[in-house]
Amino acid sequence: MKKIKITVIRKARYDDLIAKYENPIEHACDLEEGQVFYCEGWQKPKGFCDSAWETLSPFVMTLAHGGENFYDGWMKDPKSAMLSCNDGFRPVSFYIEVCD
């Protein structure tokens, strides 16, 4: 199984949507831009967001097992993907890639 690198690329925050729709919460996300995680197969890296993992894990598992070229040529590097977590108020974008 291949080792997979996950890099936090960008964090966004939509204060207008938060004010209009979200109940106040004290703590939402600890991830920082530039932060890197490594995983072996389908094992969630320690300290990685559970919700983000639900989105990324199918792609991580595919890459870890040798799959590539998601959506017929979507990425310049076929052994990678750019994905975002499912938080509509504070989305985080991740770049996942195979470590060769």
> pLDDT by residue (tens digit) across 8-41?
999 999 999 999 999 988 888 889 999 999 998 7
| pTM of the complete model | 0.92
Burial environment of residue 73 by CB neighbours within 10 A (0 to 12, 13 to 18, 19 or more): exposed
Domain map (residue ranges) of the chain: 3-98
What residues form DSSP beta bridges with 70?
Answer: none
Quote the CA–CA distance of 17 and 33 in Å, as a whole number.
22
Instruction: Specify the 3-state DSSP secondary structure of 32.
Output: coil
Mean pLDDT, residues 67-95 taken together: 95
Instruction: Report the sign of the C-alpha dihedral through residues 63, 98, 47, 86, in that order.
Output: negative
